[in-house]
Amino acid sequence: MSAPRDHHEPDPKRHHVWVSAVLACVLLGCGVFGSQAAARSIARNNSDHSREALQMSSVEVASTLRLAIKREEDLAVSAAGFLHVNPSPTSVQFVAWADTVQAMARYPELLGWGEIVMVTTAQLPAYLAADAADPSGVASRSFELVPPGDRPLYCLLRVSQSRHPGAARVPAGFDYCAATEGTRLLAARDSGRSSYVVATAGTEKGVAVQVPIYGGGFRPTTVEARRAAFIGWVGLAFDPKVLLDLALRDRPNTAVTLRFHDSISETAFNSGLAPKGSQSVIRDLDNAWTLETFAVVAHKGVLDDRGALSVLLIGVLASVILAALVLVLGTSRATALRLVGERTGELRHQALHDALTGLPNRFLIMDRIDQLLTRNRRNNTIGAALYIDLDDFKNVNDRLGHETGDRLLVAVAARLTSALRDADTIGRMGGDEFVVLIDGSAFKASPELVAERLLDVMRQPFDLDDTSSPLSVNTSIGIAIGDRAAGGDLLRDADVALYQAKAAGKNRYEIFHPEMQTEISRRIELEFDLRSAVDKQQLRLVYQPIYNLDDLSLVAVEALLRWDHPTLGLIEPDEFIPILEQSGQIQEVGRWVLNEACHRMAVWHSKGDTLDISVNVSGRQLDHDHIVDHIREALESSGLDPATLIIEVTETALMRDAAHTAVRLKAVKELGVRIAVDDFGTGYSSLAYLQQFPVDCLKIDRRFTSAITTSPESKALMRTLVQLGRDLGLKTLAEGVETASEMDHLRDEQVNEAQGFLLSRPLEPQVLEEQILLPGRANSVVPLA
């Protein structure tokens, strides 16, 4: 809005013309002189590098022209400013205003311009009435829809100014939206970006630019908002040849071809003459534009060196174009400066922002963290950094392609941003990693609450245009709170916490604490060593006896995994099984466990024992159909009677993917194997829920056993769980029996079986065989201490 106003005062303008004329001469002089010097030195010193220099110079020419093309859009923007203030101008008003900004004088390439508006069928009579009341109105030239016919909406040129009023004109009722460029116009409205198209009127050939304009003076961020705020298009037609001619004035041996390509065709605009033997350089100006520069090469002095000659010519050409541009832009040095400022601002923006999502990139974030720390130190407040990572994003890329992956990232960025307050900073670190910075002085919600909010918004599936069903992704977040020596430290700690969140099962957040660093080092070490643990025979099974509560006879043993680490000693399954699950190695190890346990029990059976063997199967193993094959394989190779094998699946594993798990467990059941629900009572599953699985036994979690003696409520809870088992016709087993009093209570509740340290700890196979199996073959009675 401020730009057009500059031209209302005549005196400064005249002054600016002089300044620009002088500036143009100086530019031209320096340019010519500089190019000559450069060409000479290149010819003298470095003919090898001539091509490089030629390329460089052509970049300069190209960027000069790029600015010239951009200028057309700037003119449209200033018209948009006028239209905001005068929403329904008459043609006379528009032309009067256009004269005050000297559009035709300052833009010699401009053929004509005006405003195109969208008119619905219902609005058409009012539109025509308003137009008829305007003596200069477009419709005064006999209004007739082109093409004729009823359509829901028409895109009509309401006001316009033309350089050659006598020349062939667009008919008054020409409907741009029904013409070939209609789609392009609507796309421009939706995207907010200008549309370019080659336009022909009679013999004149030019380029038409349509710039969408919106109420409020800026471009809304979503398609819906853009449609709602849409006012119309400012359309300009210009003749690129004028620009080229200007650039080549007084340059007899140089020619340029500016090509404009749209999806259908290519149109070339030529200027100058290129004698035989000319060299040419082609440059992209923009998606749709390329510039080819031709110049003749002679064979003397500097002219012997083709590169040097091109540099000279192109350098001179660049100076000419620059000088011409300064003259053309001329009346306002401020305009030129603004353009340069915009370019610089644009480049700066590109360097510090992520191209895909437009969010601050790693560089900018690092800078912002340092600022955050300094600010919080000064204000004595506490800031925080959240490191956010999508769970299993690689799967999206692998399954649906990178394009969909990119769209998802854009959607994620938008959604995360929507869940933050203005005071928070969000950036993309690369890949599927984002960072949120929370300023302590603006802490309204704790970082934990922010993390919860982010996890919450991310739980809604993403509706992307190119996937048939909405896409669900989970997120993990690491949080680091407080001061650090450097910004990088805060980020590293948040990353460590993120790693922990992933390790703890994903789709959650964790807050950094210093011990995490050691935990992580140990975890990484274990993860690495586990890879060879099976091959190096460091894994083994121990067996915990299970007794019948009525007569205390030994009925089964549960196989439990142990890892003898070469330097760290014995490692418990609670620590290493989650690592195996995360790395996927659980498949291989689980298969080994099944084989080992079945073989061991088959040997004991061959010696006369009739015990059952219970084997733990991880939820991850149930993610795949081959769990059924692994069980069958263990049974067949060991020769164990399937009726003596029990598979233990935790309640939470059942609930993970109930439909598939039920199918797989039915297949397992068909092998003749029984199924027990492990850690029962911790997963809150209902009777109806359990009924869909072919379950034989409920192993009631040890927290209920240890609570049973402490309060009547706990006893009632145990009773409910046992009753649930009985209603379903299932056997019940109490885990973790540690005291005789617990045993008594369990008997009162008529629990069928029990397992726990009171009865026996898990035992080495040899110990089990020597101390329990051998002495009491077939019907061992527990040796209660």
Give the interface with ligand C2E as residue ranges (CB under 6 A).
Answer: 544, 559-561, 572-574, 577, 590, 593, 616-618, 648, 678-679, 702, 735-738, 755-757, 762
Cβ-based nearer residue to ligand C2E, 85 or 570: 570
Cβ-based nearer residue to ligand C2E, 23 or 560: 560
Other beta carbons less than 10 A from residue 136's beta carbon = 13
Cβ-based nearer residue to Ca ion, 439 or 679: 679
Residue type, 355: A
Give Cα 711 to chain centroid, integer Å: 52
* Site string (601-620) toward Ca ion, x via CB under 5 A: ---------------x----
Q: Give the Cα separation of 219 and 567 in Å (integer).
A: 64
Cis peptide before 152 (omega within 30 of 0): no
Pick the binder of Ca ion from 239, 679, 749, 753 (CB under 5 A).
679
CB 461 within 8 A of CB 471: yes
Least gap, CB of 498 to Ca ion (angstroms): 30
Write the secondary structure of 129-196 as one string of H (helix), E (strand) and C (coil).
Answer: HHHHHCCCCHHHCCCCEECCCCCCEEEEEEEEEECCCCCCCCCCEECHHHCCCHHHHHHHHHHCCCEE
Q: Which does 480 bind (CB under 5 to 8 A by kind): Ca ion, ligand C2E, none?
A: none
Q: Which does 762 bind (CB under 5 to 8 A by kind): Ca ion, ligand C2E, none?
A: ligand C2E
Q: Which does 9 bind (CB under 5 to 8 A by kind): ligand C2E, Ca ion, none?
A: none
Q: Put residue 681 in one of left, alpha, beta given phi > 0 → left and psi -120 to 50 → alpha.
A: left
Cβ-based nearer residue to ligand C2E, 12 or 573: 573
Stretch of 150-158, 312-320, 729-737, 738-746 lying at the interface with Ca ion (CB under 5 A): 729-737
Cβ-based nearer residue to ligand C2E, 316 or 737: 737
Q: Give, for 314, the enclosing helix (H) or strand (E).
A: helix 306-329
Instruction: List the structure tokens of 351.
Output: 């360097």
Least gap, CB of 737 to Ca ion (angstroms): 12
> What does 197-231 look like in DSSP terms, one character per residue?
EEEEETTEEEEEEEEEEEGGGS--SSHHHHHHHEE
Cβ-based nearer residue to ligand C2E, 250 or 535: 535
Q: Which does 560 bind (CB under 5 to 8 A by kind): Ca ion, ligand C2E, none?
A: ligand C2E
Q: Which does 757 bind (CB under 5 to 8 A by kind): Ca ion, ligand C2E, none?
A: ligand C2E
Least gap, CB of 705 to ligand C2E (angstroms): 8
Q: Which does 593 bind (CB under 5 to 8 A by kind): Ca ion, ligand C2E, none?
A: ligand C2E
When asked if residue 493 is in the footprint of Ca ion (CB under 5 A), the reply is no
Q: Which does 618 bind (CB under 5 to 8 A by kind): ligand C2E, Ca ion, none?
A: ligand C2E
Cβ-based nearer residue to ligand C2E, 12 or 578: 578
Near Ca ion in 642-661, by CB under 5 A: 648
Least gap, CB of 705 to Ca ion (angstroms): 10
Cβ-based nearer residue to ligand C2E, 166 or 569: 569
Q: Which has the closest alpha carbon to 263: 288, 284, 238?
A: 288
Least gap, CB of 650 to ligand C2E (angstroms): 7
Least gap, CB of 577 to ligand C2E (angstroms): 5
Pick the binder of Ca ion from 432, 529, 678, 742 (CB under 5 A).
678
Least gap, CB of 493 to ligand C2E (angstroms): 30
At 266 the three-state DSSP class reads strand
Cβ-based nearer residue to Ca ion, 102 or 706: 706
At 675 the three-state DSSP class reads strand
Instruction: List the structure tokens of 98.
Output: 């256009």
Residue in the structure block whose two tokens are 């009985």? 726
Query: Which pairs count as long-range contacts for 84-93, CB under 8 Å and 24+ apart, including other chains?
Result: 84/1, 84/213, 84/215, 84/217, 84/231, 87/231, 88/130, 89/159, 90/134, 90/136, 90/137, 90/159, 91/134, 91/136, 91/137, 91/138, 91/159, 91/160, 92/134, 92/135, 92/136, 93/159
Cβ-based nearer residue to Ca ion, 500 or 614: 614
Least gap, CB of 660 to ligand C2E (angstroms): 18
Q: Give the Cα separation of 383 and 483 in Å (integer).
A: 7
Stretch of 24-32, 92-100, 482-490, 727-735 lying at the interface with Ca ion (CB under 5 A): 727-735
Number of residues located near Ca ion, criterion CB under 5 A: 5
Q: Give the Cα separation of 496 and 584 in Å (integer).
A: 21
Q: Which has the closest alpha carbon to 60: 341, 321, 295, 346?
A: 321
Question: Across 228-354, where does the E strand assignment appear?
Answer: 230-238, 254-261, 266-272, 279-284, 289-295
Enumerate residues 6+ apart whose C-beta is below 8 A from 80. 211, 213, 217, 231, 234
Q: Which does 544 bind (CB under 5 to 8 A by kind): Ca ion, ligand C2E, none?
A: ligand C2E
Least gap, CB of 755 to ligand C2E (angstroms): 6
Exposed, middle or buried: residue 229 (CB in 10 Å: 0-12, 13-18, 19+)? middle
Least gap, CB of 227 to Ca ion (angstroms): 58
Cβ-based nearer residue to ligand C2E, 155 or 743: 743
Alpha-carbon dihedral of residues 92, 94, 97, 102, nearest 10 degrees?
-100
Q: Which does 137 bind (CB under 5 to 8 A by kind): Ca ion, ligand C2E, none?
A: none
Q: Give the Cα separation of 346 and 66 in Å (integer).
A: 14
Q: Which does 780 bind (CB under 5 to 8 A by kind): ligand C2E, Ca ion, none?
A: none
Q: Which does 573 bind (CB under 5 to 8 A by kind): ligand C2E, Ca ion, none?
A: ligand C2E
Write the secondary structure of 233-253 as one string of H (helix), E (strand) and C (coil).
Answer: EEEEEECHHHHHHHHHCCCCC
Least gap, CB of 615 to ligand C2E (angstroms): 7
Residue in the structure block whose two tokens are 């210093």? 514
Q: Which does 162 bind (CB under 5 to 8 A by kind): ligand C2E, Ca ion, none?
A: none
Least gap, CB of 661 to ligand C2E (angstroms): 15
Q: Which does 577 bind (CB under 5 to 8 A by kind): ligand C2E, Ca ion, none?
A: ligand C2E
Q: Which has the closest alpha carbon to 546: 357, 400, 674, 372?
A: 674
Cβ-based nearer residue to Ca ion, 429 or 698: 698
CB 744 within 8 A of CB 718: no
Q: Which does 572 bind (CB under 5 to 8 A by kind): Ca ion, ligand C2E, none?
A: ligand C2E
Least gap, CB of 736 to ligand C2E (angstroms): 4
CA distances from 639 to 384, 547, 615 (A): 59, 25, 16
> What does 435-483 look like in DSSP terms, one character per residue?
EEEE-GGG-SS-HHHHHHHHHHHHHSPB--TTSSS-B---EEEEEEES-
Least gap, CB of 617 to ligand C2E (angstroms): 6
Stretch of 223-231, 310-318, 524-532, 728-736 lying at the interface with Ca ion (CB under 5 A): 728-736
Least gap, CB of 679 to Ca ion (angstroms): 4
Cβ-based nearer residue to ligand C2E, 315 or 590: 590
Helices (H) and strands (E) in the chain, counts: 28, 25
Q: Give the Cα separation of 224 and 491 in Å (integer).
A: 37
Contact positions vs Ca ion (CB under 5 A): 616, 648, 678-679, 735
